[in-house]
Amino acid sequence: MKGKNSLILGIETSCDETSAAVYAVDKGLLSNMVASQIDIHKKTGGVVPEVASRAHVEQILPVIDEALELAKTSLNKIDYLAVTHAPGLIGSLLVGVNTAKTLAMVLDKPLLPINHLEGHIYANFIREFPISNFQFPNKSKISTPNNLNNPKNPNIPKFNFPAVILLVSGGHTSLILMKGHSKYKTLGETLDDAAGEAFDKVARVLGLPYPGGPNISFVADNYRRKIPNSKSQIPNKSQILNPKIGDGNFFPRSMLGSGDFNFSFSGLKTAVLYAWQKDTSNNLTIKQYNNLRTQFAYEFEEAVVDILATKTIKAAKKYKAKTVSICGGVAANKRLREELETRIKNLPLTAYCLPLTKYCGDNAAMIGCCAAYRLKNKKSQAISKGLNFEVMSNKEI
Rule CB under 6 A: which residues touch ligand KG4?
Answer: 15, 169-171, 196, 199-200, 211-214, 217, 328-330, 332-333, 361-362
Give SS3 for 61: helix
Nearer to ligand KG4, 245 or 330 (CB): 330
Of all helices (H) and strands (E), which one includes residue 110?
A: none
Q: Binders of Zn ion among 233-252, rule CB under 5 A?
A: none
Q: Evaluate whether 391 touches 97 at the Cβ level (below 8 Å).
A: yes
Dihedral of CA atoms 86, 87, 89, 90 in degrees, nearest 10, equals: 40
Q: Evaluate whether 20 touches 7 at the Cβ level (below 8 Å).
A: no
Nearer to ligand KG4, 171 or 368 (CB): 171
* Among ligand KG4, Zn ion, none, partner that 91 touches (CB below 5 to 8 angstroms by kind): none
- Pairing between β-strand 7-12 and β-strand 351-353 as defined by DSSP bridges: unpaired
Q: Binders of Zn ion among 137-176, rule CB under 5 A?
A: 169
Provide the sign of the torsion angle of the four alpha carbons 105, 106, 110, 111, taken in this order.
Answer: negative
Q: Evaluate whether 104 touches 28 at the Cβ level (below 8 Å).
A: no
Nearer to ligand KG4, 159 or 199 (CB): 199
Query: What one-character-per-residue DSSP string does 328-342 give?
Result: SGGGG-HHHHHHHHH
CB of 198 to ligand KG4, least distance (A): 8
Nearer to Zn ion, 11 or 240 (CB): 11
* Among Zn ion, ligand KG4, none, partner that 330 touches (CB below 5 to 8 angstroms by kind): ligand KG4
Nearer to ligand KG4, 157 or 212 (CB): 212
Nearer to ligand KG4, 339 or 362 (CB): 362
Query: What one-character-per-residue DSSP string does 379-397 give?
Result: GGGGGTTTT-----S----
Number of residues that bind Zn ion (CB under 5 A): 2
CB of 339 to ligand KG4, least distance (A): 12
Nearer to ligand KG4, 113 or 361 (CB): 361
Considering only 35-43, 295-303, 358-366, 383-391, which stretch makes contact with Zn ion by CB under 5 A? Answer: 358-366
Q: Binders of Zn ion among 273-292, rule CB under 5 A?
A: none
CB of 3 to ligand KG4, least distance (A): 33
* Among ligand KG4, Zn ion, none, partner that 196 touches (CB below 5 to 8 angstroms by kind): ligand KG4
Of all helices (H) and strands (E), which one includes residue 179?
A: strand 173-180
Nearer to Zn ion, 60 or 313 (CB): 60
CA end-to-end span of the chain:
24
* Among Zn ion, ligand KG4, none, partner that 59 touches (CB below 5 to 8 angstroms by kind): none
Contacting residue, 33, 362, 391, 397, with Zn ion by CB under 5 A: 362
CB of 83 to Zn ion, least distance (A): 14
Say how far apart CA 12 and CA 93 lie, in whole Å: 8
* Among ligand KG4, Zn ion, none, partner that 188 touches (CB below 5 to 8 angstroms by kind): none
Kindly state whether residue 59 participates in binding Zn ion, applying the rule CB under 5 A.
no
Q: Evaluate whether 173 touches 248 at the Cβ level (below 8 Å).
A: no
CB of 332 to ligand KG4, least distance (A): 4
Say how far apart CA 357 and CA 6 lie, in whole Å: 27
CB of 295 to Zn ion, least distance (A): 30
Alpha helices in the chain (DSSP H): 38-42, 49-70, 90-107, 116-122, 195-205, 212-226, 266-279, 286-318, 334-344, 365-378
Q: Which residues bind Zn ion (CB under 5 A)?
A: 169, 362
